[in-house]
């Protein structure tokens, strides 16, 4: 047992890998002996290192065809997280974009929630439906159940002693929907050794190839510009994107970390056309000294500096993106300055700030008990 007592980590689900899971990894580094409670866990979909963790999925793991239909079970997640017996833990740290914050701690325990966003489908339903391509009966059912889900979301938010938001935008949502303040700590970014070098004549985009990322705008713009574009990653939108692509666009599929770092290092700029709550990949590109061309919405407004570390475009269209690319080609980018800017978002800095926030939350709870 450490000075924090018994610690438990809680995460929404472990069946896909993205920015939220990188946050969980950093939290696990802080508390490597802590069990991870989650709704469902698919080892095949997660990095091999997760198999060495103490991961404890809920009873949802026994539901039929959960790998394929986990989204359709959305009404069951609140009950799954409330079913966990966490009475043995003194400190609970949840990593939540919907449900994980809804666990029920012991009355004298401290619950710190790293909130990636309040429940997106509950509060930003139009965006979520478009993002996940939900339609038909599933869309109708979601609309019917929204009042119930929103009520649970607000009630369960009161079980959190301290919220951490990944950006100012998410902190504003927490204030608006839950009536709670939040400490802002951007998500962690790995900072590999900096290897400056001349950029090659290709641009880079990618990640999970799903509609809300708006990679279709990037593919369309670069097809029209006839400039080289490399797209990494995979997902359900890949076939449509490949059909849109001209001869200058190349898809390389899923890549390992070393390959991705090499792509960041060699590209002329990284492109992001979707709206992300925080966005780790743009900062990873800046850590390699490369500028970012980004749609001016969400977390990139807090990590990208116009004219110094990147360029914004303000309309989500291929034409606006193409104009930003053209503008970026007139700027003499300082790779060293871009790298220095990215260093403030490093993993070690993230862990230091999280521990300081946990310490403050524990002190506040102790003061309440004395009072």
pLDDT digits (tens, 9 = 90+) for 170-215: 999 999 999 999 999 999 988 888 887 889 999 999 988 888 889 9
- How far out from the chain centre does Cα 346 lie? 15
Going by pLDDT thresholds of 50, 70 and 90, the confidence category of residue 125 is low
For residue range 266-324, list pLDDT tens digits in order.
999 999 999 887 778 999 999 999 999 999 998 899 899 999 999 999 999 999 999 99
Nearest to 268 by CA among 248, 241, 254, 297: 248
Q: In sequence order, what are the residues at sequence separation of 6 or more whose Cβ sits closer than 8 angstroms to the Cβ of residue 69?
A: none
With contact defined as beta carbons under 8 Å apart, do 159 and 104 qualify? yes
Q: In sequence order, what are the residues at sequence separation of 6 or more whose Cβ sits closer than 8 angstroms to the Cβ of residue 148?
A: none
For residue range 58-89, list pLDDT tens digits in order.
999 999 888 887 877 778 999 999 999 999 99
Distances, alpha carbon 179 to alpha carbons 152, 174, 175, 239, in Å: 14, 7, 5, 42
With contact defined as beta carbons under 8 Å apart, do 300 and 292 qualify? yes
Collapse the DSSP code of 354 into the 3-class scheme (helix H, G, I; strand E, B; otherwise coil) and give the result: helix
N-to-C CA span, the chain = 27
Model pTM score = 0.82
List of domains in the chain: 7-188+347-370 (3.40.50), 203-345 (3.40.50.2000)
Torsion angle (degrees, nearest 10) of CA 256, 262, 264, 269: -130
């Amino acid at each position: 047992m450490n000075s924090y007592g018994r610690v438990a980590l809680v995460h929404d689900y472990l069946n896909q890998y993205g920015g939220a899971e990188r946050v969980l990894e950093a939290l696990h580094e802080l508390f490597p002996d802590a069990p991870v409670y989650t709704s469902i866990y698919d080892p095949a979909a997660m990095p091999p290192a997760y198999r060495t963790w103490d991961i404890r999925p809920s009873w949802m793991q026994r539901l039929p065809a959960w790998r394929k239909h986990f989204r359709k079970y959305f009404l069951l997640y609140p009950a799954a997280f409330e079913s966990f017996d966490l009475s043995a833990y003194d400190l609970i740290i949840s990593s939540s974009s919907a449900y994980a914050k809804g666990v029920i701690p012991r009355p004298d325990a401290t619950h710190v929630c790293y909130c990636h966003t309040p429940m997106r489908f509950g509060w930003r339903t139009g965006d979520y439906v478009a993002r996940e391509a939900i339609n038909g009966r599933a869309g109708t059912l979601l609309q019917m159940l929204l009042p119930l889900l929103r009520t649970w979301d607000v009630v369960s938010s009161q079980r959190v002693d301290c919220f951490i938001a990944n950006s100012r935008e998410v902190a504003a949502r927490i204030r608006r929907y839950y009536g709670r303040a939040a400490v802002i700590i951007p998500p962690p970014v790995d900072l590999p050794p900096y290897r400056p070098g001349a950029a090659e004549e290709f641009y880079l985009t990618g990640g999970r190839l799903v509609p809300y990322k708006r990679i279709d705008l990037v593919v369309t713009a670069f097809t029209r510009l006839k400039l080289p574009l490399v797209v990494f990653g995979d997902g359900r939108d890949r076939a449509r994107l490949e059909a849109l692509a001209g001869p200058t666009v190349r898809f390389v599929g899923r890549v390992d970390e070393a390959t991705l770092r090499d792509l960041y290092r060699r590209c002329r700029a990284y492109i992001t056309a979707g709206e992300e709550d925080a966005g780790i990949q743009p900062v990873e590109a800046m850590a390699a000294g490369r500028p970012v061309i980004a749609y001016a919405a969400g977390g990139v407004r807090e990590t990208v500096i116009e004219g110094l570390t990147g360029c914004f475009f303000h309309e989500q269209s291929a034409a606006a993106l193409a104009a930003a690319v053209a503008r970026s080609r007139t700027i003499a980018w300082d790779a060293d300055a871009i790298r220095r800017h990215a260093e403030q978002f490093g993993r070690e800095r993230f862990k230091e700030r999280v521990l300081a926030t946990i310490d403050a939350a524990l002190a506040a709870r102790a003061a309440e008990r004395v009072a």
